[in-house]
Structure 1
Amino acid sequence: MHWERTGIVAILGVVLSLACGCWQGGLTASKGAMASRSFLPQLPVELAVESVVLACPAKDREEYDSLWQSVRPVGAPESITLWSENGLRLGVLRSPLPARLQQWLENQSGHLSGSLQTFHQRQEVFLTTTPLIERCRLRLSTDLAAPAVEKEWEQIVGGIWLQPRLHKRAVLLLCEPRLQYEERHSWIRPAPDASRFLRSEEPLFERFPTLQMEVELTSEDYLILGTWSGAETNLGALLFGSGASPAPVSPEVATPSGLRLLLLRVQAPQLALNQDLPEIPPPYLRR
Structure 2
Amino acid sequence: MRILISNDDGVRAPGILALTRRMAQLGDVFVVAPDRQRSASSHGITFHRPLYVEKLELGAGETAAYAVSGTPVDCVKWAITVLGKDLPFDWMVSGINEGANLAVDVLYSGTVAAAGEAALRRVPAMALSLCGPPWPFDEAAEAALALVEAFMQERDAWPADTFLNVNFPAQGLREAPWRATELGARGYRDAFRQEVDGEGRLCYRYAGEAVEELGGPSTDVITVQTGAISVTPLRYRFTNQDWLATLETWMARSSRNRGG
TM-score (norm 1): 0.21
Q: Which has the larger radius of gyration?
A: 1
User: Looking at both structures, which has the greater relative contact order when contacts are Cα pairs under 8 Å and sequence separation is at least 6?
Assistant: 1
Q: Which has the higher strand share?
A: 1
TM-score (norm 2): 0.22
Q: Which has the higher helix share?
A: 2
